[in-house]
A and B are shown apart, each in its own frame.
Chain A
Amino acid sequence: MSATVMDNPLRAGVRLERTADPCTVIIFGATGDLTKRKLVPALYRLVQERLVPGEFAVVGAARSEMGHDDFRAKMKDAVAQFSEAKRVDEEVWDSFAQGLYYLPVNIDSPDDYKKLSDLLDQIDRERGTQGNRVFYLSTAPALYAEAVKQLGQSGLVNQEKGWRRVIIEKPFGTDLATAKQLNRDIHEHLEESQIYRIDHYLGKETVQNLMIFRFANGIYEPLWNRQYIDHVQITNAETVGVEGRGGYYDKAGVVRDMIQNHVFQVLSHVVMEPPASLGAEAVRDEKIKAMMSARPFTAERVRNECVRGQYGAGSINGKPVPGYREEEGVPKDSTTETFAMVTMRFDNWRWSGVPFYIRSGKRLAKRVTEVAIQFKDAPHQLFGREMMEQVAPNQLVIRIQPDEGITLRFGAKVPGQVTRIRDVNMDFRYGASFGVQLAEAYERLLLDCILGDPTLYARTDMTERGWEIVMPILEEWAATKAEAPFPNYEAGSWGPQATHDLLASQGRRWRRP
């Protein structure tokens, strides 16, 4: 990018939103599911909301043969079906569609990149997109490295004429070795500042709100440590099963699919120290620093502090559902875990001695993601032991989905002559407080990438650290596959009994979310 960008005096003021450079977004995997469900609806919204400039274009690329107009028609249907508003504004669409193109591209074929390059140059000339490009890799993960290599060799990610960025979808590797290999492969052709590894959890408003909650309010931070906090529970529960992706899921399991990436991102927001600034590197430095202090798992810790589970038949919301091994694409004797509980410990001044209990799984009782901070008991039982036994310690719950909000539980006197205490919940719900729609994660993330802000994307070190932490768990469980007592929880329950026993043995219990 040229270093002599002149400032724009008309941009000043509180009302005008951040604005993006002119650019072209190229989607590899444009005939796929994610493109029609999320990406194109999000791009359309960005145009509609004036968050991207007029000098903007989108190029779809995949192997299927089709013309620009076919692609436009398909994408128009997709926006009508999958956008929040479920409708398309004809005039806005027409203007968006003028900048919407399709090119048949095989990721393996160098010739196709030549064609792509020609098309992009033509778009730069016709639409003033200034050579700035985002390449979005929404294809099978096996193709990420090849796509980056080809982009590198064809010169398409060379930043002499405009900036070039690459968004990489999940999953990022299948274990530490493959994640490292993938990082090495892409670093051969890209600077870290060009790489945007998506974690759509980070695009969620409430995950971002965790930072606001912690660091914009003065009152919580002094309590946010081992002095006052007994332990932390993070629950990430889905009610769905494998939804026709049994083949993929059976190779992954919940640790790879959810914990290593999404749950760790949420966790790092809870554990991190206040960053020096909100700059992308400052925030990501603190997150990685927090995760670096996570105590490594040993085989013994895996046996004593972690629990794996796989669901059997049961029922969800009153409707019978099959067990995991009966799902399509799943082997009858599968030993893949669909549930995991792990106990994380952080060896640093702030968190020494505070366990973080994390559970994540499919086919659980309720769809919910939340962080519950359990405070210590009041230091002196002023009101007598019996009385205090019926009040639970203070608890602060940050709900991430659905029904985003914050609940604080504390003891209060029950009105009357005698002193009786009971727990009350003070509940704050975004939905009940602001009737406004929360922005879609993909919109926010795409815009951030176009704006060149990687704060909400995972950095190399974080992707590798996530894997590093979970590898001993994956290895221990793989080595003891035969012993896995699967299935060991009923669909529609809160996971294996062992998770409850584990907490009970430490004098604690799982919260019912």
Chain B
Amino acid sequence: METQTHNSSAAVSVSGIDVSKLEKELAAMWQPAKNEDGTVAEAGTTRVCVLNLIVYAAQQEDRAEIDQLLDEVTEQTPGRSIILVADRDSADAKLEAYVSTRCQTSSRGAKQVCGEQITIEASGPVIETVSTAIEPLLMPDMPVFLWWKDIPHYEDKLFNRLVGLADRVVIDSLAFDHPHEDLLRLAEIIRTNPQFMLVSDLNWGRMTAWRSLVASFWDVDDYRPLLDQIDTVIVEYDPPDVAHSAIAPQALLIIGWLASRLGWQFLGQAPHSDGQTTHFTLQALGGREVKIELRALPDREGRDGWLASLTLRATQAGAEFRVAMNEAGTKLETEARIGDAHHVERVVAYEQKTEGQRLSRELGLLLRDRIYEAAVTAAAQLLAALSQS
């Protein structure tokens, strides 16, 4: 696949951003290419727009990463992206904007998919109000997504204003700077402001394969009754890079998901931790205890913050269900074992998606993800208990 980008000159103006100039330049970019004699060199590309995507970049260094991300996003979800590069450390007031189109020619050569991009560079006091420059640039009445990777763990005016413009905010809990605090803050945002801010978490998307494999055990009629007899859950994970003593959000979210879906309650039994392993006790309907173990594995390259395995046991029935990621991080292996008689194993590909593909996937979701919200809420309960013990 090949990407072509065309950039315009910056549309700078002391009185703010010149929206009509930017729109004109974008329209010009969609014209078919002309030969020197004025004849049309290639067929024009279709201008298709399914969404607006506002991307927040805290620093210039993130730009390369974002560029690559948008290449992939454009291919699957063409639309208008507005990249806001905010230099919060600078005291100089600066506001600049320029436009570009981003065209992807697929490997087969025939398909050309294009998206348009407006980059805004802002610094100094302008940052707080830059959302007013963004609003008129949004494609009318198409959904607006805000990609703000690491939610701010404090009150942030810009964030709040952009959330006000957006239909959905996409974050990545794998990239949280302070995994525990940020997850608690996320739960707080979800609790206090549920109708306004719909959240997508790239990290939750990474766990879809896990969740679907876990769920599929109990699609099998013969196994289904065992789901109500689970008494032990063991999660192994690689600790986050930024905070080695923290429990990875993936591990907390998967427990949060199981607990919220299966009605396992946290009834105040203090959690305890013995170095690498944290133990919680939850209570299922009917009073059955469910022991939860979260085990940190020794650090592995490239796997920071990832789940390594999930084991669910129904001890009395001698049943164990397990999903684990292989060493290379490319496959998921599942195993269902009931006593000595029954044992089924399989290996499936772990979707090797790039971040851009994952982001695209999130951009396809417009509904509120209540399952995720409940998982975050339950995970935050565990964290709260942990911080008290």
> A: which residues have CB within 8 A of B?
2, 5-6, 8-17, 19-22, 47-48, 50, 53-55, 89, 91-92, 94-95, 98, 127-128, 130, 427-429, 431-436
Contact = CB atoms under 8 A, between A and B. Distances in A.
B348 A433 contact: no
Interface residues of B, number: 54
A91 B46 contact: no
Nearest to A2: B221
B239 interface: no
Interface stretch (B107-115, B116-124, B131-139, B297-305): B107-115
A433 B47 CA distance: 8
A10 B261 contact: yes
Nearest to B44: A427
Contact of B222 (A14, A54, A91, A128): A128
B348 A434 contact: no
A55 B218 CA distance: 11
B106 interface: yes
Contacts of A435: 74-76, 104, 106, 111, 113
B261 to A, nearest CB: 5
Instruction: Name the residue among B78, B114, B205, B349 with the largest chain A CB count within 10 angstroms.
Output: B349
B344 A128 contact: yes
A446 B218 CA distance: 22
Contacts of B104: 435
A20 B212 CA distance: 12
A22 B220 contact: yes
A436 B76 contact: yes
B211 interface: yes
Contact of A428 (B46, B211, B371, B372): B46
A53 B367 contact: no
A8 B224 contact: yes
B274 to A, nearest CB: 29
B349 A55 contact: no
B24 interface: no
A19 B113 contact: no
B262 A54 contact: no
A20 B215 CA distance: 12
A341 B227 CA distance: 59
B99 to A, nearest CB: 20
A431 B78 CA distance: 11
Contact of A429 (B46, B215, B349): B46
Given A55-B220, A92-B348, A433-B48, 8 more contacts: A11-B219, A14-B369, A16-B208, A19-B219, A20-B219, A47-B348, A54-B346, A92-B349
Given A2-B221, A434-B77, A91 B212 contact: no
A12 B45 contact: no
Contacts of B345: 54, 95
Given A13-B371, A50-B348, A128-B222, A432 B208 contact: no
Contact of A95 (B76, B225, B346, B367): B346
A316 B342 CA distance: 59
B218 A10 contact: yes
A198 B348 CA distance: 28
B108 to A, nearest CB: 9
B1 to A, nearest CB: 8
Interface string B133-162: 000000000000000000000000000000
Contacts of B209: 50
Given A9-B262, A130-B220, A435-B75, A16 B348 contact: no
A92 B222 CA distance: 25
Contacts of A432: 45-46, 48, 111-114
B344 A127 contact: yes
Nearest to B216: A53
A12 B344 contact: no
7 contacts: A50-B213, A91-B326, A92-B331, A92-B349, A95-B348, A431-B110, A432-B48
